[in-house]
A and B are shown apart, each in its own frame.
Chain A
Amino acid sequence: MLEIRGLSAAIEEKPILQGIDLTVPQGEVHAIMGPNGSGKSTLAYVLSGREDYVVTAGSVTFDGRDLLAMAPEERAVAGIFLAFQAPIELPGVGNANFLRTALNAVRRARGEPELDAVQFLRMARTETKRLAMPEDMLRRNVNVGFSGGEKKRNEVLQMSILRPRLAILDETDSGLDIDALKIVADGVNTLRGPEFSALVITHHQRLLDHLVPNRVHVLAGGRIVRSGGPELGHELEAKGYSGMVAEAA
C-alpha cells in the first residue's frame, strides 16, 4: 500500500532523510522509533506534503499512485492522515465547522454526499463521547486554549471522523498521561482492520503496549537501521538508542 524507495529529503538544503526504504502493507500498523533528530517528523511531513521539505531522491507510492506529485489536500482525500506532533491553533475557526468542512471536502472528493450540520453533529458527538472528550470541544476554536492532551485527542477525533486509510501518528503519545494514552490507543485500535494502516512514530514503548504494531523500524541518521517484530521495541527500551545504533553501524 505505502512504498517508500530510497527517499532522501532536505530542509533549507540541510539533508535530513538519507535513503529510506519502507513498505507498509494494507491492514498493518508499523512503528517508527528513533532518537531526536533522526528524521521521524520529517518523514511524517514529507509523506503528508509539507512544502518546505524538498525531496532530493527516491519515490513514494500510495496504492500505486505517485504520492510526491500530489498536493496535501489530494493526499488527504486519497486517505492519508497526519496526526500532528504539535497541533496547530486556528483562532476564529470553530472546531465543528473545521471538522465538517474537512469531512465534506473528503466526501466530495470520494463522490459521497456531503453531510448537513445535523447529520454531522450527531456523528461528531458520538465520536467525542467515545474519546472521552468534553462536548464543548466542538464549540471551541480549533486547538485554541486546549491543553496538550486535549490537542492530541482532537487529532484522534479528526482521524476518527475522516476515517483515513493510512494514519501517520507523529508522537501522538507525547505529553499524554496513562489514561489519555489508553484513550488515544483505543481510538486507533477501533479503526484497525483490513482497510486501515498506520505509521506510528514514537519515542517510547509505552504506546506500543496498547497499540501493538506488526513491525517496528528504527530510524537513525535519516535511515532505517533495523526492522523487526514488536519485540524490537522492548529491546530498544532495554538497550537504548545509542546501543542499538552502535550495533547497527
Chain B
Amino acid sequence: MTAAVQTGVAGFLARYEALRYLLPGDPLQRAAAAEAFRRAGLPGATSGRREEAWKYTALRPVADASFLQSTVESAGDGTVLAQLPPLDAPRIVFIDGQFRPELSALPAAARFERFAHHGSFGALARPDSEPLVALNTMLSEDGALLSVEPEVDAGLLLLVSVASDGAAFHPRHDIHLRRGARMTLLELSVGDGCYLHNPVFEVRVGEGASLTHVRLQDESPAAFHLSTLYAQVAEGGSYDSFALNLGARITRTEAHARLAGAKGFTHLNGAQLLGGSQHADFTTVVRHDAPSCSSRQTVKNVLAGRAQGVFQGRIEVARAAQKTDGYQMNQALLLSPDAEIDTKPELEIFADDVKCSHGATVGELDADQLFYLRSRGIPDAEARSMLVRAFLAEALDAVTHQAVRGVLDRAVEGWWERQAA
C-alpha cells in the first residue's frame, strides 16, 4: 500500500526515521547527513536568507509536493524498454531508483555493483555543505557502482532512470576509471507524473583515463530533477561531460570538477531547452589544483514561454595551478519576452600564470540571419526554427560519439514536437 505523508523537510526526515535501520552503508554518515539536512532544509523553501549558491533557484515546489512513502508499483517491462534509444550497448536500468536486473544488460568490460549491496559512500561528495547531497546521503537506497580496470576501453554504457508518479528517490552512483581506462556513459532520465529524482555522482578519473559523460534529462514536465556530481581528474585524465536538459519542472544540474593532477582536462558543457514555466539551473564549480590543466564550460539555453534558465559558473585556480587554461561561456536565446536567463560567472585565481576567460551572450534571433533566410523564400516561422536549431546544433557538436549524438538529436526533435503541439 502507498500513502501520502508529511511534505517537505519533515516528510524526508520521517522517511529517514522509518528506513534508517534498513538502509545500506555506514549509519553514522547517514545520521550526520540527516542532521545537516535538518539544519539546512531545502534551499529557498522557506522565506528568509538565501544562500548565494541558490540565489536563483528556490525549491519551494519540491517542499510542497507530496511523495509516496513506499516504492510505487512500477511500469511494465515492455513500456520501459520501448522508451530506450535503440543502441547496441550494455545498459543498467533503474526504476524509481531501484536496480532492475531483468531490464538491464550488464557490461562485460566494466564492473558493476549495486549501491544497495555495498552502501559505500565516496570521499568526494559533501553532504555537510550541500543540502541536496545531505538529503541523498540520508536516503539513498540504490545506485550504480561502476569501475573500469586499467587500460580497458569499456566503450558505450547506458545508465537509465525511469520514474513514476509520486516517487522520490536519491540514487548514489560511483564511477571509477583506473589508469588509462576509457568509457562513454550515456545517462538517460525519463518518467511520468510528479516525482523527485535526486542523484549524487562521484566520479574518479585515473591517470590518463578518459570518461565521456553524456546526460540526457528528458523527465516528465511535472518532475523535479536535482543532480549533484563530483568529479576528480588525475594527471593527464579527462572528464568530458555534456548535459542536455529538456524536461522537468525544476532542474538543478550541479557539477564540481577538481583537476587534481597536472595536464588534466574537463568539459562541463550543456544545453537547456525550456518552455512553459520550466526552470533549469546549471551550476558548475571547476577547481584547478594542478598545473597545466584546462577546463571548458559552454552552456547554451533556448528559452521560450515563461521559462527561466540559470547559469552559475565558478572557476577556482589554486596557487600551484600555473599554466591553467580556463574558459567559460553562457549563451541564451530568448524566444519570448517573458523568458528569463540569469547568469553569474565567478573567477577566483591565486596563481599568476593563467589564462581564464568567461563570457555571456543573451539575445533574440539575429535580424540579418533571419532576413537572409526569408530573402531566399523560407517562411518566417521556418526560418526562425532553422536558426534556433542551428544555435543548438553548435552546442551538440560537442558530442562526437555518433550514435549518442543521434539520441540527443532525436530528443531535441521530440522537444520541438511537444512545443508545436
Contact = CB atoms under 8 A, between A and B. Distances in A.
B367 to A, nearest CB: 8
Interface in B357-406: 367-369, 371-380, 382-383, 386-387, 389-394
A87 B371 CA distance: 11
A90 B389 contact: no
Contacts of A48: 375
A76 B375 contact: yes
Given A50-B371, A51-B371, A101-B382, A77 B390 contact: no
Given A92-B389, A92-B390, A92-B391, A101 B369 contact: no
Interface residues of A, number: 28
Contacts of B377: 73, 76-77, 102, 105-106, 109, 162
A93 B369 CA distance: 11
A105 B379 contact: yes
Given A88-B369, A105-B382, A72 B375 contact: yes
A113 to B, nearest CB: 16
Contacts of A162: 376-377
Nearest to B388: A92
Contacts of B373: 90, 98, 102
A172 to B, nearest CB: 15
A101 to B, nearest CB: 6
Nearest to A83: B375
A79 to B, nearest CB: 10
A106 B374 CA distance: 11
A96 to B, nearest CB: 13
Contacts of A98: 373, 376, 386
A72 B393 contact: no
A120 interface: no
B371 A101 contact: no
A75 to B, nearest CB: 8
Contact of A101 (B367, B372, B378, B380): B378
Contacts of A72: 371, 374-375
Contacts of B369: 88, 90
B216 to A, nearest CB: 20
A73 B380 contact: yes
A92 B394 contact: yes
A81 B367 CA distance: 18
Interface string A151-176: 00000001000100000000000000
Residue from the set B375, B377, B389, B391 with the largest chain A CB neighbour count within 10 Å: B377
A105 B331 CA distance: 30
Interface string A76-111: 110001101001101111000010011001100100
A102 B376 contact: yes
The 4 closest A-B pairs by CB, nearest first: A92-B390, A76-B377, A102-B376, A72-B374
Interface of B: 367-369, 371-380, 382-383, 386-387, 389-394
30 contacts: A49-B375, A51-B367, A72-B371, A73-B375, A73-B376, A73-B378, A73-B379, A77-B377, A81-B375, A81-B376, A82-B375, A87-B372, A88-B368, A88-B369, A88-B371, A88-B372, A90-B369, A90-B373, A90-B390, A92-B390, A92-B391, A93-B390, A98-B376, A101-B386, A105-B376, A105-B377, A105-B378, A105-B379, A106-B376, A158-B376
